[in-house]
């Protein structure tokens, strides 16, 4: 009680009133009890003991649950990866035995492991592409002697004829 000896009765009354307000307010009560516990180790507060017990139990439960959640997440990721991996098979782009070859193709082309469907589509498109055939070579016809003898004049006539055709099409003259 030596802390209160130098105070007036009004100051003691004011401190007591503030202490009661702090202890009675649900927002400040827990912190008030913690402060008292810090000052006086022998102070027993059932609310603090219950809270500490709850925190210990919750942390133990959390420690046990965390590895299980991680394991579930890994299994879910594996399942999703396998689902993405089998998508080209489900769509009929490859057979299951061709998957390793498709994975190699995808890796060579810079696809991510989760983009096998796109890689399979590209591979199928590349395989279905037929090289274009060269246009047939037109042999010289009898009217093309001018082309051989005076190519400049022949090209000028061809250009004039083509321009006339385009004009006629544009202005509707047949």
Q: Burial letters for 70-84: b for 16+ Cβ neighbours within 10 Å, e otherwise?
A: eeeeeeeeeeeeeee
Residue 72's pLDDT is 94
Residue ranges of the alpha helices (H) in the chain?
Answer: 9-24, 29-39, 46-90, 99-108, 116-128, 145-149, 151-171
pLDDT value, residue 67? 93
- Most distant CA pair in the chain, distance: 133
What are the per-10-residue average pLDDT scores of the chain (174 residues)? 75 87 86 84 81 88 92 94 90 89 90 88 82 64 67 86 84 66
**What pLDDT is stored for residue 66 in this prediction?**
93
Domain borders along the chain are 12-44, 68-127
pLDDT of 78 reads 93
| pLDDT for the residue 104 | 92
pLDDT at 139: 61
Q: CA 114, CA 82: separation in Å to the nearest integer? A: 9
């Amino acid at each position: 009680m030596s802390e209160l000896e130098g105070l007036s009765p009004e100051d003691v009354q004011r401190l007591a009133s503030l202490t009661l307000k702090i202890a009675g307010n649900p927002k400040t009560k827990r912190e008030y009890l913690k402060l008292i516990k810090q000052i006086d180790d022998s102070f027993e507060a059932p609310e603090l003991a219950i809270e500490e017990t709850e925190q210990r139990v919750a942390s133990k439960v959390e420690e046990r649950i965390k590895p299980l959640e991680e394991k579930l997440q890994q299994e879910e990721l594996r399942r999703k990866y396998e689902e993405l991996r089998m998508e080209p098979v489900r769509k009929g782009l490859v057979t299951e035995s061709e998957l390793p070859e498709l994975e190699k193709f995808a890796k060579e082309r810079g696809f991510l492991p989760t983009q096998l469907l796109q890689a399979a589509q590209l591979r199928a498109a590349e395989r279905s592409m037929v090289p274009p055939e060269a246009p047939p070579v037109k042999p010289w016809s009898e009217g093309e002697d001018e082309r051989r003898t005076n190519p400049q004049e022949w090209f000028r006539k061809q250009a004039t004829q083509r321009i006339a055709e385009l004009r006629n099409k544009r202005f509707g003259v047949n």
